[in-house]
């Protein structure tokens, strides 16, 4: 790890207290109630979680055992209990608030829908019945490749209702990525749409699905196609079925399938440091509990709120804080299909005004992009309904934080900076906004019941303020991942082996300041964070070398104003290094190629050609050196161990 001994030089000392008005009106107006939560969690970890599980979840069969650690690190929570997640998100609200709006939807082109809890319940039941008629049974895998439309949530909830395990593939991923995920999950059904509206264009999802299915995916029996954009698509008879035909004449009730608390609710593929994405496997009961408690603690969710999380359902944020958390809490949420700059950079703020959004949650990359486009856009709209703002996905730089605070939050909204991961299922380090003062750039403290610390290489806790180390979690928690689909060994290896099973290794470095606040310093593995999304450098490298002209490639991240990190690729071609004129054309070809292999977010921003890559005498690529060069910094490290020192000029683009 490179920065575990770095003392941070740029320290942020400003603190921002929540306003008295916010605190008084929050779920936790009294600091003592929060202290009591922390105290209960630290004195009786399992008792604390058991009490929450009993009070927040409707169990079909109550659990008697809270934590089973006999097979650690394959932990189990509430494992003799039975429940249904969809029942907890829908049925249990019907009697008291069936007419309440569950989803306010706005399409990119401005079309809107208000869907009540009762209507959502009926749509979920109908679709669940349709899936059953197609032969989907509990435990089957169903892949979703959909736009950000209510039907994505309907499909996820319908899977949950019948015990099918969904795996959502982000609609921006390519056909190749979709095929890999379908095959890894051995899925029976893929649910897609003709297309989605995004960035003023139609994203041709059905076409990509057809391509994926033509390249393999023998496991798929049917693809279900929702009609959204209404452009021409091919339907393969026998295999492809329109959504409307799936739900035709289906009953609007569907008895939930009661599943064990440990029954997998979903898989979600995420990047690791090797080329193959990992199918992160989440549970039912524990995951649901994490979603509910963090909605309450961090978002302070209340009956009257209009909650808007801008994340796509293809990411974990869109699972926990779009598809499950808000519904489990019986709240009203806004869902948006499109891009934040269509038709202009005022879209988010216009929607906040129009739908009276009270809680707004987005990524620093979006905040930076919108900040760059100026204050005039937000100033055109009435943002006074907002009472709480949140960020997720990467560290937020103080400049963007201050803009969010002053221009969007109008200095009255607390900002919750939430650190968590696909693997953690729910927020881990985040403020309790009624009491925790914020510091721009810090995700503040671990939530109750989350035992996170920073340790050194030997696994000893670092108690010196501002000394960086490995961020780890000492005790299991309910919403943690349970496994990597089909690869239990890799689960153990990736998350537990480094500290002999004692700690969950998050893969981030962090420091704690003298007030005990956490500051995330970056990834410790070869994972990039591009626009808040994780991408393995190896994935991009594998895509590059899969091109017939490429002999070798190395990919590193380089700081980027808006995206957080940009992708910098060093490429060795088969044959000669291209001339300056040829290099541009090959760069374009390779960018398009990577876009096709993985998806547009993985396209390298820069490609530099060299005769060779810098390697040590033992053959290891010197990534640290490549990162220095990508940043344009002077090389100060010792390069004498380089096999071929003369390539440095080529790598720097100077020759």
Q: Which residues bind ligand PRX (CB under 6 A)?
A: 270, 316-317, 392-395, 417-422, 443, 506-508, 520, 523, 529, 533-534
Nearest alpha carbon to residue 157 among 356, 412, 411, 328: 328
Q: How far is CA 497 from CA 3, 128, 144, 314, in A?
A: 21, 40, 32, 29
CA–CA distance from 471 to each of 417, 446, 450 (Å)?
16, 11, 12
- In this complex, which beta carbon is closest to ligand PRX, that of residue 473 or of residue 610? 473
In angstroms, the CA 508 to CA 2 distance is 11
C-beta closer to ligand PRX: residue 131 or 426: 426
Tokens 């998050």, located at residue? 506
Between 48 and 470, whose beta carbon lies closer to ligand PRX? 470
Cα–Cα distance, 609 to 305 (Å, whole number) = 53
Give the shortest CB-588-to-ligand PRX separation in angstroms.
Answer: 28
Q: With 0-12 CB in 10 A as exposed, 13-18 as middle and 19+ as buried, what is 473? A: buried
CB nearer to ligand PRX: pick between 18 and 532: 532
Q: How far is the CB of 521 from ligand PRX (least distance, A)?
A: 9
To ligand PRX, the closest distance from the beta carbon of 131 in angstroms equals 28
* Parallel, antiparallel or unpaired: strands 165-168 and 469-473: unpaired
Whichever of 358 and 422 has its CB closer to ligand PRX, that residue is: 422
Cα→Cα distances 488→259, 262, 494, 635, Å: 22, 16, 10, 41
Q: How far is the CB of 279 from ligand PRX (least distance, A)?
A: 13
Q: Which residue is nearest to ligand PRX (CB)?
A: 422
Q: Could you tell me which of 265, 204, 339, 233 has the C-alpha nearest to residue 77? A: 265
* CA distance linking residue 158 with residue 440, whole number of Å: 40
Q: How far is the CB of 7 from ligand PRX (least distance, A)?
A: 19
Residue 52 gets which letter from DSSP? H
Least distance (Å) between residue 181 CB and ligand PRX? 15
Taking the complex as a whole, the smallest distance from the CB of residue 432 to ligand PRX amounts, in Å, to 15
Q: Cβ 420 to ligand PRX, closest distance in Å?
A: 5
C-beta closer to ligand PRX: residue 553 or 556: 556
Residue placing its CB nearer to ligand PRX in the complex, 247 or 535: 535
If the CB atoms of residues 512 and 615 are measured against ligand PRX, the closer one turns out to be 512
For Cα atoms 147, 167, 299, give the angle at the middle one, nearest 5 degrees: 70
């Amino acid at each position: 790890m490179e920065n575990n001994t770095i003392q941070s030089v740029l320290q942020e000392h400003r603190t921002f207290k929540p306003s008295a008005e916010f605190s008084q009106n929050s779920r936790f107006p009294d600091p003592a109630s929060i202290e009591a939560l922390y105290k209960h969690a630290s004195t009786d970890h399992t008792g604390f979680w058991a009490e929450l599980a009993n009070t927040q979840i409707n169990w079909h069969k109550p659990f008697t055992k809270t934590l089973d650690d006999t097979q650690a690190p394959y932990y189990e929570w509430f494992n003799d209990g039975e429940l249904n997640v969809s029942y907890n998100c829908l049925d249990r609200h019907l009697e008291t608030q069936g007419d309440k709006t569950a989803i306010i939807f706005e399409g990119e082109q401005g079309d809107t829908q208000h869907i009540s809890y009762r209507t959502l319940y009926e749509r979920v039941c109908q679709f669940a019945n349709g899936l059953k008629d197609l032969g989907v049974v509990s435990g089957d895998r169903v892949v979703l490749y959909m736009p950000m439309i209510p039907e994505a949530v309907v499909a996820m909830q319908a899977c949950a209702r019948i015990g099918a395990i969904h795996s959502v593939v982000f609609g921006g991923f390519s056909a190749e990525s979709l095929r890999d995920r379908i095959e890894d999950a051995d899925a029976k059904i893929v649910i897609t749409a003709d297309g989605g509206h995004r960035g003023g264009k139609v994203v041709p999802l059905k076409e990509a699905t057809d391509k994926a299915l033509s390249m393999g995916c023998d496991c798929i029996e049917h693809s279900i196609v929702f009609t959204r954009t209404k452009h021409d698509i091919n339907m393969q008879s026998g295999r492809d079925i329109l959504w409307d035909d799936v739900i035709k004449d289906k009953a609007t009730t569907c008895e939930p399938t009661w599943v064990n608390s440990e029954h997998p609710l979903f898989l979600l593929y995420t990047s690791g440091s090797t080329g193959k994405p990992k199918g992160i496997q989440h549970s039912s009961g524990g995951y649901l509990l994490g979603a509910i408690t963090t909605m309450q603690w961090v978002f302070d969710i209340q009956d009257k709120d209009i909650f808007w999380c801008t994340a796509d359902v293809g990411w974990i944020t869109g699972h926990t804080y779009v598809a499950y958390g808000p519904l489990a809490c019986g709240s009203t949420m806004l869902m948006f299909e499109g891009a934040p700059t269509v038709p202009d950079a005022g879209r988010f703020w216009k929607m906040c005004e129009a739908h009276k959004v009270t809680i707004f949650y987005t990524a620093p990359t979006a905040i930076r992009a919108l900040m760059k486009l100026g204050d005039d856009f937000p100033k055109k709209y009435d943002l006074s309904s907002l009472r709480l703002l949140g960020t997720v996905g990467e560290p937020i730089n103080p400049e963007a934080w201050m803009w969010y605070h002053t221009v969007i939050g109008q200095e009255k909204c607390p900002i919750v900076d939430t650190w968590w991961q696909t693997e953690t299922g729910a927020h881990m380090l985040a403020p309790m906004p009624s009491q925790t003062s914020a510091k721009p750039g810090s995700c503040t403290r671990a939530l109750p019941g989350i035992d996170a610390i920073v340790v050194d290489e030997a696994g000893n806790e670092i108690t010196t303020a501002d000394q960086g180390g490995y961020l780890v979690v000492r005790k299991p928690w309910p919403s943690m991942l349970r496994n990597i689909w089909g690869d239990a060994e890799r689960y153990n290896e990736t998350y537990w082996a480094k500290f002999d099973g004692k700690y969950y290794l998050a893969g981030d470095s962090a420091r704690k300041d003298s007030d005990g606040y956490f500051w995330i310093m970056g990834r410790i593995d070869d994972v990039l964070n591009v626009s808040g999304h994780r991408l393995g450098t190896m994935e991009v490298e594998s895509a590059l070398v899969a091109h017939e002209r490429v002999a070798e490639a190395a990919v590193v991240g380089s700081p980027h104003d808006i995206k957080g990190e940009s992708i910098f690729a060093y490429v060795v071609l088969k044959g000669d290094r291209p001339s300056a004129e040829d290099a541009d054309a090959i760069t374009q070809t390779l960018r398009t190629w990577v876009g096709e292999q993985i998806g547009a977010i993985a396209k390298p921003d820069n490609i530099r050609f060299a005769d060779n890559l810098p390697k040590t005498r033992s053959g290891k690529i010197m990534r640290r050196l490549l990162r220095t060069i990508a940043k344009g910094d002077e090389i100060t490290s010792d390069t004498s161990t380089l096999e071929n020192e003369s390539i440095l000029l080529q790598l720097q683009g100077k020759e």
